[in-house]
Chain A
Amino acid sequence: MSDWLELELAHRLTPVEAPEELWERVDQGLQARASRTAFRSAVRRAPRSAFWTPISAWPAWPAAMATMALAAAAWWLADGREPVLDIREWAAIEMGRSAALELHSHDPGEIRRWLRDHTGLDVPIPSVTSVRLEGARVVRRGAQRVAAVEYRAGHDAVTLLVARADPQHPLPPHGARSAAWQARDQVYALASSTPDRVEAGCQLCHSSL
């Protein structure tokens, strides 16, 4: 090899300092992963079909969910207003449900319009996506409404939940590879029939994954 090339490469490809924000991003990813791991370990204890078994046969995790719900109710009573449920809790609940679709459609535009009309939420879905859209429905609890888009990513049944963000409890922004994230004034969460591969649900908007 020519000496000039060796010098050029050695001189121009020198190491650099990593930007300060790298740690913030890694730390954010660690926190998201920790919460996801706790979330998965809670859900993994029961298969989807075992969700509505008799109370005596319930595994421990619904008790944890019930405790959270009671805590939320207590907070609500103390505060005097309806509690804003964390989108991740919505996702945990949806993971065990098999609710009927209110709109059967494979059309992203139609699903977007329908959800806007029924929830006031804007759920932009790419016109070209590698998943198979099934339709949409509205998840209701009291006055709260959460938009749900149902689709299939490979063999996985996935639900994308969208709700208004709670300014008091912001979620990490998109990019941390989390099963729940916030973008602008809306929060998003994925619930999958295969909790270990919830990332497959990202193919709705990221076809290259």
Chain B
Amino acid sequence: MVLERSESELLAACRRGERDGFRELFQLYKDKVYSVALRFAGDPAEAMDIAQDIFLKLFSSLADFRGDSRLETWIFRLVVNRCLDHRRRARRWIPLGDGFWSTLRAGGDSLAQVLEDERRGRVQEAVNGLAPDLRIVVALRYTEGMSYDQIAEVLGCAPGTVASRLHRAHKLLERSLAHLSGKGGADV
């Protein structure tokens, strides 16, 4: 109850155009918004662009939020719309930062970290290969940990549609990530 009241106060502050209100709302949702954008886009620079656009849209359209759904659901609808509008740019090589080389020099546990990052990269690459409508469902499910019902509410579709999209995504990912299953093939 306290949380609801503070949320409505926060919304009121934002609607009055108070910068501190914007900042507070941003702090509450920045990691969620950026994480889904990153898992959807697969590129930190593009995720930054998407997240920036989402927050600008959020702050300019707060007057449209009537409270019919939870604020978080409404924000994730903005996230989904912006992600699906997003046209992926030409793929870029991400330069290896100093961290990579210091990791290699450190050896031992750090080498395990390099392998872990490599594995994470392969999973993200496989997700990048999915169609946008499947990718967004995967991001909401595994990055945000949403239930089928929550995803359905955000997407404005039936839970059965969510299940169907996840099933298709799983089939495709199973195929592209078969080498990670440990059943034959080279592992990293």
Q: Is the CB of B34 within 8 A of A5?
A: no
Chain A residue with Cβ nearest B116: A12
Q: Which of A17-25, A93-101, A181-189 is the contact stretch? A: A17-25
A172 at interface (Cβ–Cβ under 8 A)?
Answer: no
| B19 proximity list for chain A (CB < 8 A) | 27, 30
Give the interface size class of chain B. 35 or more
Contact of B142 with A10 in the complex, beta carbons under 8 Å: yes
Taking a contact as CB atoms under 8 Å apart, the answer to whether A13 and B143 are in contact is: yes
B103 contact set on A, CB distance < 8 A: none
Determine if B52 and A29 form an interchain contact, defined as CB atoms under 8 angstroms apart.
yes
The stretch that binds A, out of B1-9, B106-114, B150-158, B170-178, is: B170-178
- Check A23–B31 contact: CB distance below 8 A: no
User: How far, in whole Å, are A109 and B88 apart by their CA atoms in the complex?
Assistant: 30
B79 lies within 8 A of chain A by Cβ:
no
Q: How far is the CB of A181 from chain B (nearest CB, A)?
A: 15
Total number of residue pairs linking A and B with CB closer than 8 Å: 86
Cβ A5 vs Cβ B142 within 8 A: no
CA A26 – CA B25 in complex, angstroms? 12
**B143 contacts A5, CB within 8 Å?**
no
Selected contact of A22 from candidates B30, B127, B143, B173, CB within 8 Å:
B30
* Contact partners of B26 in chain A: CB under 8 A: 23, 26
Q: Interface stretch among B64-72, B94-102, B117-125?
A: B117-125
A18 touching B31, Cβ below 8 Å: yes
Question: Does A2 reach chain B (CB closer than 8 Å)?
Answer: yes
Inter-chain CA distance A8–B119, complex, in Å, is: 9
- Per the bound structure, the CA–CA distance linking A28 and B173 in Å amounts to 39
Chain B 12-49 interface mask (CB, 8 Å, partner A; 1/0): 00000001001100100011111100110000100010
Main SS class of interface, B: helix
Checking A8, A10, A29 against B56 with a beta-carbon cut-off of 8 angstroms, the contacting residue is A29
Taking a contact as CB atoms under 8 Å apart, the answer to whether A8 and B180 are in contact is yes
B33 near A18: Cβ-Cβ < 8 Å: yes
Are B32's CB and A12's CB within 8 A? no
Whole-angstrom distance from the CB of A35 to the nearest CB of chain B? 13
| A1 CB–B CB distance under 8 Å | yes
Chain A residues, Cβ within 8 Å of B55: 22, 26, 29
One of B22, B35, B173 near A9 (C-beta < 8 A): B173
Tell me the complex Cα distance, A18–B29, Å.
Answer: 10
- Please measure, in the bound complex, the distance between the C-alpha atom of A101 and the C-alpha atom of B60, giving whole angstroms: 37
Q: Is the CB of B142 within 8 A of A13?
A: yes
Choose one: B35, B59, B141, B177; the contact of A15 (CB below 8 Å).
B35
Q: Which of A101-154 contact B (CB under 8 A)?
A: none
- 10 tightest A-B contacts by CB? A18-B34, A15-B35, A12-B123, A18-B30, A13-B142, A1-B170, A26-B55, A9-B142, A12-B120, A29-B56
* A residues in contact (CB < 8 Å) with B: 1-2, 4-5, 8-10, 12-19, 21-23, 25-27, 29-30, 33, 177, 208
Q: List the interface of chain B (C-beta within 8 A of A).
A: 19, 22-23, 26, 30-35, 38-39, 44, 48, 51-52, 55-56, 59-60, 87, 119-120, 123-124, 127, 138-139, 141-144, 167, 170, 173-174, 177, 180-182
Q: Given A8-B180, A29-B52, list of 9 further CB < 8 A pairs? A: A4-B180, A5-B170, A5-B174, A22-B48, A23-B30, A26-B55, A26-B56, A27-B22, A33-B56
